[in-house]
Structure 1
């Protein structure tokens, strides 16, 4: 019989794969439909906004009704939103919809997708906390990070391959994959929270709770710094190395695959092997992230730029350390809520990161990475100044 941890890994991998399939085709699709770059940016911002607003809500609901129903609702809502996006885009191709009417319909489908997809990650994290003893959470949370990383690595490649058959094919593939994922969850994944363990009313845990507020701030810093980098790193390679657009796509693609593989190996294998406590992973991870962003500020060549990305991949060990620290900081009845608040903090970083990164790049190519380094540096100092942070006994 397949273990729940393996089932959860496949569930999250499928969800992230379905989302990241769209990364290579959103821009070209929007241009074919006559939409502007700003409107494309609003698709991503709106998606992240709904995740920011609703992630904590879904986490609370999972404490009341159970993990499996919320996980299914999130996956099915994601599928519906992508089918709607494909339908509206097809109507745009047929000239039934155009201009602001087309944009409004597509934006609605993305808002719907963000609203429902915000249930998936926090519920998966809470599910994992339910089935994992406290002393093993750091290692098992790393598995979720590896699933996320693998989905981001393979998704764009699949999306680019499917785009040869038409730009709407990856969208329909994502929606269909989500339906299969929901069927898989419905048939194979057992409920982790028995009726007697559920709470009649959601826990009142909030952003201001002193047990988790510092950890949420660190999580926001990590995610904001990462998104600001990801939004601008292609520009940096092109400008620093003097590449053509075609050369940039190939070079950055290779560098990001290396970056992704390092992150998956660190979280999927190394963290589970060394079995370090959350504070050790978080401290070393933040230090490596700081070195990586500083490297991007000064790197003069492909080798040095990519070495800096490798450092950032190694620094991803901070993520399972942070997630485990958040889980261990609260009671078993608050796992869904803390996972929801953590996802909301990540969504806030995804909202602000593109604007901050691209705006700073307009002033100087080095500024986004100076900003990220300063943000991580402050988070590291804040972390080191609080010896009790993330030091709960597992």
Structure 2
């Protein structure tokens, strides 16, 4: 297998382990007596640690190599999810209750965020190492397709495993991560040889004019997306009047559809048309805007899921933006820019759950009003700067 294929499998396994939880986090929290805001804080704490440490891991991968950092990230993810399942089990047994249960589960999420923040920036830098600059956009589309496939199979597996209890998907995620770590250790080659590594990592600033506008657009897209993801299970449950188990199944099906569309767009269409990054962003952001507008008003399973399909079509923004960031800097700054990009995304994941769940508490439509406004502003900002993402 080629290094690109091996990296694809590594990322697919990582996102699969995370996405199996999407349909069950909301129902699990409600069964344990936790509020929507506390569920949001789980994700906020996870993302806070990613925001703090992603840039660090990206820089360290320049010095230590990509493979050791990937391994640390995946193993840390596994340990944190085993702890999350254990603390939730203690909640079911009434050993931990209320704020004690919340604090223990939050600790496991903080630990997971600290280590998992190594995975994405290192994988992006690895991909840049093995891909010529003129092929970056298409290669990053493969990375997006790996994420999409994880979203296809993960929620379906999570929904299926929920029949055995809502903790079964959590244990599955942790076990899969351990297998993924073994795969990386045995099979994945190192992309950055020792003689090519600097003695100290490059210092790339947030304020660097080459990347700051792209980081702001990425933050807006991710913040809008996370505000949706953290509330969509509640939206399906409340709009369709479903039980917790039926909610997990319905959201699982909807996210499978979302993932299929994303995989086809990124893994097939983006690679076929070979558009430059700017063109992908100019089409993708309006599609995202339409998807969030749809979620504001949809009241049936069909319309809710059709809105998610529009968001899947808009996922072409992901390879476009990632490629634009990679092409904006030198080959010696790939780990650094990937770390800053991941940190910007983590900031969106940190703010998105609190914003989304807080707005949901006021009205089920408000998180999607917020997301639509954010994407609209990002689109205006992007169109007013024709130099952004103009390189192939």
Cα displacement (A) at 1:167 = 3.7
Establish whether residue 128 from structure 1 lines up as the match of residue 89 from structure 2: no
**What's 1:111 paired with?**
110
**What's 1:245 paired with?**
242
Aligned pair in 2 of structure 1 residues 259, 36: CA closer, same or farther (>3 Å)? Answer: closer
Distance in 2, Cα, partners of 1:48 & 1:60: 19
Q: Is the Cα contact below 8 Å between 2:159 and 2:252 reproduced in 1?
A: no
Cα displacement (A) at 1:30 = 4.2
Q: Is the Cα contact below 8 Å between 2:125 and 2:335 reproduced in 1?
A: yes
**What's 1:281 paired with?**
280
**Does the residue aligned with 1:186 lie in a helix, a strand or coil?**
helix
**Does the residue aligned with 2:208 lie in a helix, a strand or coil?**
coil
Establish whether residue 177 from structure 1 lines up as the match of residue 207 from structure 2: no
Distance in 2, Cα, partners of 1:294 & 1:40: 24
Map 1:1-394; keep pairs closer than 5 Å: 2-31=1-30, 33-93=32-92, 97-234=96-233, 236=235, 243-246=240-243, 252-297=251-296, 303-392=302-391, 394=392
**Does the residue aligned with 1:245 lie in a helix, a strand or coil?**
coil
Task: Tell me which moved more, 134-143 or 150-159.
Answer: 150-159
Cα displacement (A) at 1:274 = 0.9
| Superimposed CA distance per residue, residues 13-32 of structure 1 (whole angstroms, 9 cap, x where no aligned partner) | 11111122233344444455
Aligned-CA RMSD value: 2.4
Distance in 1, Cα, partners of 2:291 & 2:81: 35
The number of equivalent residue pairs is: 390
Task: Tell me which moved more, 65-74 or 279-288.
Answer: 279-288
- TM-score (structure 1 length as normaliser): 0.90
Distance in 2, Cα, partners of 1:370 & 1:95: 39
Aligned pair in 2 of structure 1 residues 164, 9: CA closer, same or farther (>3 Å)? Answer: same
Moved over 6 A (4+): none
Aligned pair in 2 of structure 1 residues 128, 248: CA closer, same or farther (>3 Å)? Answer: same
Aligned pair in 2 of structure 1 residues 295, 202: CA closer, same or farther (>3 Å)? Answer: same
Distance in 2, Cα, partners of 1:154 & 1:263: 13
Distance in 2, Cα, partners of 1:309 & 1:38: 23
Q: Is the Cα contact below 8 Å between 2:236 and 2:251 reproduced in 1?
A: yes
Aligned pair in 2 of structure 1 residues 215, 32: CA closer, same or farther (>3 Å)? Answer: same
Contiguous gaps of at least 5 residues in structure 2 = none
Cα displacement (A) at 1:249 = 5.8
